Amino acid sequence: MAQALVSRRSVLKSGVLALATGWLPSREGRAAGFREANERPRVGAIGTGSRWCQRATGINGPWGSAPDFRKYGDYVAVCDVDRSRRQRAAALVKDWTGVEVPMPADYRAILDDPKVDLVHISTPDHWHAKIAIEAMLAGKDVYCEKPMTLTIPEGREICDVCRKTGRIVQIGTQQRSDFQFVQAIALIQSGRLGKIQKAVCRIGGAPTSPEIPVAEPPADLDWNLWQGPVAAAPFRFLAGDNGETHSWSRGHYEFRWWYEYSGGKLTDWGAHHVDIATWGMGRTESGPVEIIPEFVRHPVEFRDGYPVDPARYNTATEFLIRARFADGAEIEIRHDGDNGILFEGTEGRLFVNRGRISGKPVEDLKSQPLPEGALEKAYKNRLLVDHFRNFFEAARDRVEPISDVFSHHRALSTCHLAGLAARLNRKLTWDPEREVIVGDAQAQLLLGRESRRGFEIGRG
């Protein structure tokens, strides 16, 4: 990062001090629980693509978290490696607040800004861990879109830093704050399904692509900085009638379908549904012991866990993968069928997705309503609110948010292991206590990834 705008030395120095002594940066005044009624938390946005707000990508669409996020805080800076996107984002913020805000290309300017209380991360997956960890060390609370990490070791490091710094971090698995999912958890916790034996997560398949040629990156995009911690590769782009970018590429939005930057559907929708399955099964402090790829189809050939064709999307398009726990219970992850989660217990079955919740335990609510407080108990003994409000309230009250890094790490580890089993096309044996793959040295080596030189966590 020769073009870095600011130095990280001061941030890292304070972070090391916090880890060594238990001292945390002062949270008095605005940041300490946001006690002043006329003061709203100040937010720095890092990554302003369509998950932040589609309007910042040039699409006049309704999607993105920023319009809801700003109900509870004010954006005071925006950052993106694409100049056109950060300019649009800054213009949106000016429309919302009436104030012109800084718009650096380098996220470290956000972390070094004392006016920023919270960081909202909406970058591609491969950047999440580095930014989140450095934000915590800089004394910022963090909202990070899912999935939290690209690898399991990154998740362990995030958990360690979160625990040691005391920062509040919410992951954008917003299903945890949707009524029907919390109701499903409350039904399970109330014993209405008996002992949960299986959860089937149907998450849809991933797309394929034609051959995508090497191309010059757009003039507004810093391709080197976009790639960041992962191995450098040529930019690829092919215009066409495909998705919100009207193209196939290695970049914006389409990064989801390259293992180099993401985990495909297994960490896209999988991060949502496997999280709910793990929560409902009461497995948020452990993990499976076997990951069995019953059936996997990739759009390209794989050799030793790596795709051999660099010109096409490479994440799994079709799959049936089982994650089995020590007591025989399992999570089944598959591409086909009605998107959602089916819980199977000894006393009943329950299906839930973003549109409905169904099954006999749900029908029985007419005559046997849930006990008073059951929903609040499922929701960590707090009133059920929208996902963003839960984060801001958790930051104010200094309590754990509903989608904490520790439970998300466990659920996402299952997704990452499923992806690794799919790439190698063989069963993996996992030790959830030590978080290592047993008896497969090759798979263990593939569990993490070395950061590209100059982009290591804490580098600067």
Instruction: Give the predicted TM-score (pTM) of the model.
Output: 0.92
Q: Rounded to an integer, what distance in angstroms lies between the CA atom of residue 290 and that of residue 270?
A: 17
pLDDT for res 21: 29
From 3-7, 142-146, 268-272, 412-416, the region with the lowest mean pLDDT:
3-7
Q: Which residue has the higher pLDDT, 10 or 326?
A: 326
CATH of the domain at 101: 3.40.50.720
From 4-13, 104-113, 412-421, 438-447, the region with the lowest mean pLDDT:
4-13
Percent of the residues in the chain that have a pLDDT greater than 90, as a whole number: 90
Paired with 303 in beta bridges are 306
Same domain, 244 and 151: no
Residue with tokens 């960890």: 133
89 φ/ψ sector (left φ>0, alpha ψ -120 to 50, else beta): alpha
- Domain around 21: 9-174
Task: Give the residue among 42, 76, 147 at the shortest CA–CA distance from 410.
Answer: 147
pLDDT for res 61: 87
Looking at 110, 140, 174, which one is the last position of a domain? Answer: 174
Task: Give the residue among 103, 424, 29, 96 at the shortest CA–CA distance from 259.
Answer: 424
- The mean per-residue pLDDT over the stretch 428-440 comes to 98
pLDDT for res 28: 35
From 12-26, 167-181, 390-404, the region with the lowest mean pLDDT:
12-26
Paired with 199 in beta bridges are 331, 343
| 232 part of a folded domain | yes
Q: Which residue has the higher pLDDT, 1 or 327?
A: 327
How does residue 346 score in pLDDT terms, banded at 50, 70 and 90? very high
Does 30 have pLDDT greater than 60? no
Q: Rounded to an integer, what distance in angstroms lies between the CA atom of residue 43 and that of residue 102?
A: 12
Percent of the residues in the chain that have a pLDDT greater than 70, as a whole number: 91
Q: Rounded to an integer, what distance in angstroms lies between the CA atom of residue 411 and that of residue 321?
A: 15
Contacts of 168 (CB under 8 A, 6+ apart): 141, 142, 391, 394, 395, 398, 399, 400, 401
Burial 91-126, CB ≥16 within 10 A → b, else e: bbbeeeeeeebbbbbbbbbbbbbeebbbbbbbbbbb
Same domain, 136 and 269: no
| 271 part of a folded domain | yes
Contacts of 431 (CB under 8 A, 6+ apart): 289, 437, 438
Pairing of strands 302-303, 74-79: unpaired
| 330 part of a folded domain | yes
Same domain, 226 and 140: no
Same domain, 240 and 321: yes
454 φ/ψ sector (left φ>0, alpha ψ -120 to 50, else beta): left
| Helices assigned H by DSSP within 22-174 | 66-69, 83-97, 108-111, 128-137, 152-165
Does 459 have pLDDT greater than 70? no
Same domain, 170 and 233: no
Give all strands (DSSP E) within 236-377, no chain letters.
237-239, 247-249, 290-297, 302-303, 306-307, 318-324, 330-334, 340-345, 348-352, 357-358
Looking at 127, 159, 174, which one is the last position of a domain? Answer: 174
- Which amino acid is present at 73? G
**Cα-based angle 411, 337, 245 (whole degrees, multiple of 5):** 75
pLDDT for res 38: 54
| 303 part of a folded domain | yes
Q: Give the phi and the psi of residue 349 in degrees, each rounded to 5.
A: -125, 155
- The mean per-residue pLDDT over the stretch 356-371 comes to 98
| 369 part of a folded domain | no
CATH of the domain at 209: 3.30.360
Contacts of 102 (CB under 8 A, 6+ apart): 76, 77, 78, 109, 113
Per-residue pLDDT tens over the stretch 63-89: 999 999 999 999 999 999 999 999 999
Does 32 have pLDDT greater than 90? no
Paired with 357 in beta bridges are 352
Same domain, 251 and 129: no
- Neighbour tally for 159: CB within 10 Å: 19
Give all strands (DSSP E) within 8-104, no chain letters.
42-46, 74-79
| 144 part of a folded domain | yes
| 457 part of a folded domain | no
Pairing of strands 290-297, 318-324: antiparallel
Average pLDDT value for the chain: 92
Same domain, 104 and 221: no
Same domain, 313 and 430: yes
Same domain, 245 and 303: yes
Give all strands (DSSP E) within 149-254, no chain letters.
169-171, 196-202, 237-239, 247-249
Asked if the peptide bond before residue 147 counts as cis, ω within 30 degrees of 0, the response is yes
Does 22 have pLDDT greater than 60? no
| 263 part of a folded domain | yes
Tally of domains within the chain: 2
Rg (CA), the chain: 22
Q: Rounded to an integer, what distance in angstroms lies between the CA atom of residue 371 and that of residue 377?
A: 10
Residue with tokens 């990062």: 1
How does residue 39 score in pLDDT terms, banded at 50, 70 and 90? confident
Looking at 128, 159, 174, which one is the last position of a domain? Answer: 174
Task: Give the residue among 124, 185, 165 at the shortest CA–CA distance from 345.
Answer: 185
Same domain, 204 and 97: no
Does 33 have pLDDT greater than 90? no
Does 36 have pLDDT greater than 60? no
Same domain, 246 and 321: yes
**How many residues are given for the chain?**
460
Largest CA distance in the chain: 66
Same domain, 325 and 416: yes
